[in-house]
Amino acid sequence: MKKNQIVINALLLVILLVGGVFIAGCTATQPAPTITNVVTSPPTVVASEKPKLLIATTTSLYDTGLLNYLETKYESQNNVDLQITSQGTGKAIEIAKKGDADVLLVHSPSQELAFVKDGFGINRRSFASNYFMIVGPANDPAGIMNMTPENAFTTLLIKGTNKTAGVFFVSRGDASGTHTAEQKIWSNAKFNYTMNVEKSGTWYIEAGKGMGETLQLASEKGAYTFTDEGTYLSYKSNLKISPIITKGSSLLNIYSIMTVYNDKQPVEKIQMANNFINFLISQQTQADIGSFGVDKYGKALFTPMSISVPTATAGYVGDYSTPATDLKPPAAVSNTAAPK
């Protein structure tokens, strides 16, 4: 009996072993199926960013629309992204001195010459001019029509401090090129600006704003103000003030551009800045400046140097025909600025 049981157990073991091998064969890993026609997206190609050229400029060039007009033309011809910041000339110069601009484009010759002399700028080129003007209420309550700018300012001061009805003056009051030109006329008229004018009464209002906003404020108050012709013409349709004084040698307004220099400025940026200067004084761009505004205002807002070079104080009109090529100041002057 025991012998038979042993035989039976052996047979059962053999059956189990054979069955296990069979099951294992049925469940063995099969080769992965071949996948065809898989569509994959092409790798994303990131376009290289255009190099930036930082321009610090005055509000009058921005408010008139001239810089936007020229920016479009320049960028269509060059692989450069112009980054424009618009401030009064004084603030624009501060930005440039700190190394936060590659190009300085303003209209205050005395400040520009000092900027270059101190080694902060190279390749100064004058590219356009227009004139300042005194604008105010059409009925001219101060009675300054057709006076020289100096006599007009003297009359405004006298009548303003005497509280003559309707006599108010809005100044830029922001150390801009326009504000500097205004102060120059006060000086020509033998007044100390800080002592005799700036705090002389409520008739004299310091806006501390750009030219467009200053014109709007003067219009709202029915006051006089000192403005460049181009910005006045571009805002004229929304103003209630008119040109009162438009002639006089002290009203000349010259626009110049220069490359910013400091010991952290890469030579590539200096070359880019030089290229933009050469674009501004090129024959084609000078022609574009000479026609800018004619279709809308009936006259150009700026006179390019290619049409007329104004007579001015020695040095005030910079070179306007020689290409900008200098990469550093003629004299070894080192100006430190934080790297951009």
pLDDT digits (tens, 9 = 90+) for 71-111: 999 999 999 999 999 998 999 999 999 999 999 999 999 99
Q: Is 275 helix (H, G, I), strand (E, B) or coil?
A: helix
Q: What's the half-sphere exposure (Cβ side, CA atoms, 13 Å) at 336?
A: 0
> Do 231 and 177 sit in the same domain of this protein?
yes
Q: How far apart are CA 310 and CA 265, in angstroms?
A: 33
At which residue do the structure tokens 């200098």 appear? 326
pLDDT digits (tens, 9 = 90+) for 143-196: 999 999 999 999 999 999 999 999 999 999 999 999 999 999 999 999 999 999
- C-alpha closest to that of 246 among 108, 109, 110, 130: 130
> Do 235 and 298 sit in the same domain of this protein?
no
**pTM value surpassing 0.85:** no
**What's residue 263's pLDDT?**
87
Q: Where would I find the H helices in 27-100?
A: 59-63, 66-77, 89-97
**What's residue 264's pLDDT?**
85
> Do 161 and 238 sit in the same domain of this protein?
yes
Question: The domain that contains 292 carries what CATH number?
Answer: 3.40.190.10
**What's residue 9's pLDDT?**
52
Which phi and psi angles does 205 have, rounded to 5°? Answer: -115, 125
| Spatial CB neighbours of 193, under 8 Å, sequence gap ≥ 6 | 183, 186, 187
**What's residue 330's pLDDT?**
83
> Do 166 and 227 sit in the same domain of this protein?
yes
Name the domain boundary from 251, 268, 284. 251
Q: Is residue 36 part of a domain?
A: no
Which parts of the chain have pLDDT scores under 70? 1-48, 331-340
Q: Is residue 229 part of a domain?
A: yes
Name the domain boundary from 233, 251, 269. 251
Q: Is residue 80 part of a domain?
A: yes
> Do 103 and 180 sit in the same domain of this protein?
no
Number of domains the chain is built from: 2
Q: Which domain range does residue 223 map to?
A: 131-251
